[in-house]
Amino acid sequence: MIKKQITVISDFSGGQDTKTPMISMALNKSPNMRNFHCAGVKNRLVKRGGFSKLNLSTVESDGLDVFYPCGYQTYDYPLRYEAANTRISQGFKCKTSGTVTKVRLWLKKVETPAATDTVTLEIQSDSSGVPSGTEVTNGVATAIDISDVITSSYAWVTFTFSTNPTLVAGTQYHLMLEGAFTISTTNYIHWGVDNYDVIYPDGTMSVYDGTTWMTDTLYDACFEVYISDGVAGNDGFATWDFSSKNMLLGVFGTTLYKMDKDSSGNPDGVWDALTGGGTWDAFTKLMLHCDGSDQATTFTDEISHIVTANGDAKLVTAEKKFGTASGIFDGSDDLTVPDSDDWNLESGDFSFDFWSWFDAVGANGSDHTIFYQETDGTNFWDIRWHNIDGGTGYWELRVRVVGVNIIVAQGTFFPTLDTWYHIEISRSGNNFRWFVDGVQVGSTTVDSSSMPDFTGSLYIGSAAGSRYFTGQLD
């Protein structure tokens, strides 16, 4: 994929501008999206699906049915700090009818709660928007010992039941948190909550002063309810500090939101939903999914450039990174796309992003071209992989004018055959960087040169009929 200058990306790209959804990528690797800075936004980056991590701890997902993400926590809500908050609760509606296997709350302690230092959870039915005071059948969880389980830093605290309660999808319930410890302004429990633009639609917080439950609609507490066959195990959520645009961007479920900041960098507290759907932003210039039926020779560009398959270039379904197929190149074929102003990159920011699978590395000293455009044999640019000696090699962006290289940016790399690699070359200002699987390879190349506007067709898989690539692209 070719992309000029970065904007909001409608497919939540990770690894910069790839088809790999950020909410589906392993988070032991950097997203490598320019201007997206996770540092300083604590506990923000989260992935659902069983293998990614939050603060180096495995994120559970099996059976997750309904949740409000800890990534949206902005406020500490105290339990038994004073009599006015003897008990606190969060409303919810499950998506799946079934038995609750566990509930997790985002909690921490302040100092050392005294006397009987336990907390427990009840799932209560609803009464006019607040807890009814009556738990559902088997809805009282086993008490948690504060000193043994809850720490002074926020973490998920798991509540289980001696007999699992059964809930009905779409019915209003409340997670009611209560403690047996002494009410104290110095020793208590915090439940992490969101006090910005709360976007959970199926319940709000309530607080109990020992006599009456009152709704507290300015807050939503961070929680997870796990139900047999729960449906939300692969819902993603994440928040990024998009500092260069003075905003936060957040994914909640499958919707992208933004929150603006003022001139001092303070968020305005309002999450605004962003549209975009399946369309591509104006900066995406070439998007080949390489999807289709096995052995097909039609390559469709979602930006509407005409792509011609030459030789035996085709789609195969046996091995692909995404979707239904990938493009295979046997070392004597390529794709061509007519010249376009979209390939006139000049000195602006851009990125080329693709997944490669090598079927062969060729002889020592051989080149494997991914992109190539020329005006003639002495005026061209290309993106290629070079095999130095059968054990070392490098990716290279090269721009040549009248036989002289004016830009050369390299990234050390040697592939293992039959393995998918996520490859990217980006330019940001005068800085050129290569990335493999989200990690920069080689040093940053600093060059202020502008890329000329070459006039020939864009080749994918060869250098105008030479230096062919042998493998698959997706």
Q: pLDDT for 301-320, tens place per residue?
A: 988 899 999 999 999 999 88
201-206 average pLDDT score: 92
Exposure of 428 by Cβ count < 10 A (0-12 exposed, 13-18 middle, 19+ buried)?
middle
What is the rounded CA–CA span in Å between residue 31 and residue 461?
27
Annotated domain spans of the chain: 2-49+234-274, 64-227, 288-473
pLDDT at residue 232, as a whole number: 65
pLDDT at residue 44, as a whole number: 34
pLDDT at residue 146, as a whole number: 93
Residue 181's contacts (CB-CB under 8 Å, 6 or more residues apart) are: 80, 113, 114, 115, 116, 117, 118, 119, 146, 187, 188, 189
Closest CA to 164 of 118, 105, 223, 228: 228
In this model, does residue 117 exceed pLDDT 80?
yes
74-82 average pLDDT score: 93
pLDDT at residue 243, as a whole number: 55
Element (H, E) at 368: strand 367-376
pLDDT at residue 9, as a whole number: 31
CATH of domain 64-227: 2.60.120
Q: How would residue 396 be classed by pLDDT, with cut points 50, 70 and 90?
A: very high
In this model, does residue 14 exceed pLDDT 50?
no
Q: How would residue 40 be classed by pLDDT, with cut points 50, 70 and 90?
A: very low
Selected residue with higher pLDDT from 183 and 53: 183
Selected residue with higher pLDDT from 51 and 63: 63
Counting residues of the chain whose pLDDT is more than 70, the rounded percentage is 77
φ/ψ bin of 424: left (φ > 0), alpha (ψ from -120 to 50), beta (otherwise) = beta
What is the rounded CA–CA span in Å between residue 230 and residue 425?
40
Residue 88's contacts (CB-CB under 8 Å, 6 or more residues apart) are: 77, 79, 176, 177, 191, 205, 206, 207, 208, 221
pLDDT at residue 228, as a whole number: 84
371-379 average pLDDT score: 96
What is the rounded CA–CA span in Å between residue 269 and residue 194?
10
Fold of 288-473: Jelly Rolls (2.60.120)
CA-derived radius of gyration, the chain: 27
In this model, does residue 470 exceed pLDDT 50?
yes
Residue 315's contacts (CB-CB under 8 Å, 6 or more residues apart) are: 290, 291, 292, 293, 294, 295, 296, 297, 298, 299, 325, 326, 327, 328
In this model, does residue 60 exceed pLDDT 80?
no
In this model, does residue 242 exceed pLDDT 80?
no
9-17 average pLDDT score: 30
Q: How would residue 16 be classed by pLDDT, with cut points 50, 70 and 90?
A: very low
Exposure of 104 by Cβ count < 10 A (0-12 exposed, 13-18 middle, 19+ buried)?
buried
Element (H, E) at 237: strand 236-242
Residue 54's contacts (CB-CB under 8 Å, 6 or more residues apart) are: 27, 43, 45, 46, 47, 70
Q: The whole model's pTM is what? A: 0.49
Q: How would residue 330 be classed by pLDDT, with cut points 50, 70 and 90?
A: very high
Q: What is the DSSP string of 49-93?
A: SSS-EETTEEPP-TTEEEEE-GGG--EEEEESSSGGGSEEEEEEE
Q: How would residue 200 be classed by pLDDT, with cut points 50, 70 and 90?
A: confident
Helix (H, G, I), strand (E, B) or coil at 244: helix
Closest CA to 244 of 31, 4, 8, 2: 8
Selected residue with higher pLDDT from 48 and 75: 75
CA distance readout (Å), 204 to 25, 90, 199: 31, 5, 10
pLDDT at residue 364, as a whole number: 97
334-343 average pLDDT score: 95
In this model, does residue 442 exceed pLDDT 70?
yes
Q: What is the pLDDT of residues 156-186, one digit of tens each?
A: 999 999 999 999 999 999 999 999 999 999 9
278-285 average pLDDT score: 71
Residue 278 tokens, joined: 């399946």
Element (H, E) at 427: strand 420-428
Q: What is the DSSP string of 292-344?
A: SSTT-----BTT----EEETT-EEESSS-SSSS-EEEEESS-EEEE---GGG-
333-351 average pLDDT score: 94
pLDDT at residue 206, as a whole number: 97
In this model, does residue 192 exceed pLDDT 90?
yes
In this model, does residue 394 exceed pLDDT 60?
yes
267-284 average pLDDT score: 65
pLDDT at residue 233, as a whole number: 56
Based on DSSP, count helices (H) and strands (E) in the chain, helices before strands: 1, 38
What is the rounded CA–CA span in Å between residue 273 and residue 281?
16
- 288-303 residues labelled b (16+ CB within 10 A) or e (exposed): bbbbbeeeebebebee
What is the rounded CA–CA span in Å between residue 25 and residue 13?
10
In this model, does residue 333 exceed pLDDT 80?
yes
What is the rounded CA–CA span in Å between residue 389 and residue 280?
41
- Please give the mean pLDDT across all residues of the chain: 82
Q: How would residue 34 be classed by pLDDT, with cut points 50, 70 and 90?
A: very low
Element (H, E) at 146: helix 146-149
Selected residue with higher pLDDT from 445 and 67: 445
Half-sphere exposure of 403 (CA within 13 A, CB side): 0
Strand 458-460 with 213-216, pairing: unpaired
Q: How would residue 322 be classed by pLDDT, with cut points 50, 70 and 90?
A: confident
Selected residue with higher pLDDT from 169 and 275: 169
pLDDT at residue 67, as a whole number: 86
In this model, does residue 327 exceed pLDDT 90?
yes
Closest CA to 450 of 399, 392, 413, 410: 399
Identical fold between 64-227 and 288-473 = yes
